[in-house]
Chains A and B, each alone.
Chain A
């Protein structure tokens, strides 16, 4: 069964607004990764944050990790219509990966 949970399950925002997605996990991890999946396509790796890191940036993406709360958040700033996709967090621990349930983001032009 899936151990990761993400919220919200779905999010609809206007272009230019920021989008925040949260992810929780249940066991200790080595790292946590965020992926994007466009409808009907494969997964694209976005960003990886290690268990000893608290925040990481990549372009318009900002990821935070709180290991005490076993949670992570993904912030997309200045969203674009092309950001419309499902976003998954993936926790990795000792060679085992676990997916979250995903957040469906819709960015309205």
Chain B
């Protein structure tokens, strides 16, 4: 059982509000990721981090920002939410397990609805 947690699980907020999705892992993994997934669609990598103070944008352009001040914590922030940000956000972490193996562990996801 993976130890990676996301809060909140479900959030409904008004347009223009600032929100932060929290993600924490207790496995000491250096690598962490944020994915965005619209219902029934594929996952898109929007941010990733390979360690403290390291953050990169993913393949899909996103108006969100992330920070990595501590190894276990990788929050995602939207400064001004819009209805187009309505989606599921999945946090993940991984680490080398030897010989290049890299199992990715996912959180349960945060469902964001912007009205």
Question: Which A residues form the contact surface with B (CB < 8 A)?
Answer: 1-2, 30-31, 33, 35, 40-45, 48, 50, 88, 90, 92, 95, 97-102, 104
What does DSSP make chain B's interface, helix, strand, loop or mixed? strand
A45 touches B59 (CB 8 A): no
Q: Are A92 and B102 in contact (CB under 8 A)?
A: yes
Q: Quick check: A42 and B31 within 8 Å, CB to CB?
A: no
**What separation, in Å, do the CA atoms of A102 and B41 have in the docked complex?**
8
Number of interface residues of B (CB under 8 A): 25
- Bound state CA distance, A45 and B95, in angstroms? 14
List 30 interface pairs A-B (beta carbons < 8 Å), by A numbering.
Answer: A1-B59, A2-B42, A2-B44, A2-B59, A30-B100, A33-B104, A40-B109, A41-B108, A41-B109, A42-B90, A42-B106, A42-B109, A43-B104, A44-B106, A45-B103, A48-B103, A50-B101, A88-B43, A90-B104, A92-B104, A95-B31, A97-B33, A97-B102, A97-B104, A98-B45, A99-B35, A99-B43, A99-B44, A102-B43, A104-B40
- Verify if B84 is at the interface (C-beta below 8 Å from A): no
- List of B residues within 8 angstroms of A35 by Cβ: 104, 106
B42 proximity list for chain A (CB < 8 A): 2, 88, 99-102
Residues of B within 8 A of A92 (CB): 102, 104
The dominant DSSP class at the A interface is: strand
Q: Is the CB of B101 within 8 A of A43?
A: no
Are the C-beta atoms of A50 and B104 separated by less than 8 Å?
A: no
Query: Complex formed: what's the CA distance from A102 to B37 in Å?
Result: 12
Pairwise interchain contact A31-B90, C-beta atoms closer than 8 A = no
Contacts of A40 in B (CB 8 A): 109, 111
Tell me the minimal C-beta distance from A9 to chain B in angstroms: 10
Given A88-B43, A95-B102, A100-B42, 20 more pairs with CB closer than 8 A = A2-B59, A30-B100, A30-B102, A31-B100, A31-B102, A33-B103, A33-B104, A35-B106, A42-B106, A43-B106, A45-B105, A48-B101, A97-B45, A97-B94, A97-B104, A99-B35, A99-B42, A99-B43, A99-B45, A101-B42
Q: Nearest-CB distance from B44 to chain A (Å)? A: 7
Report the bound CA distance from A98 to B35 in whole Å: 11
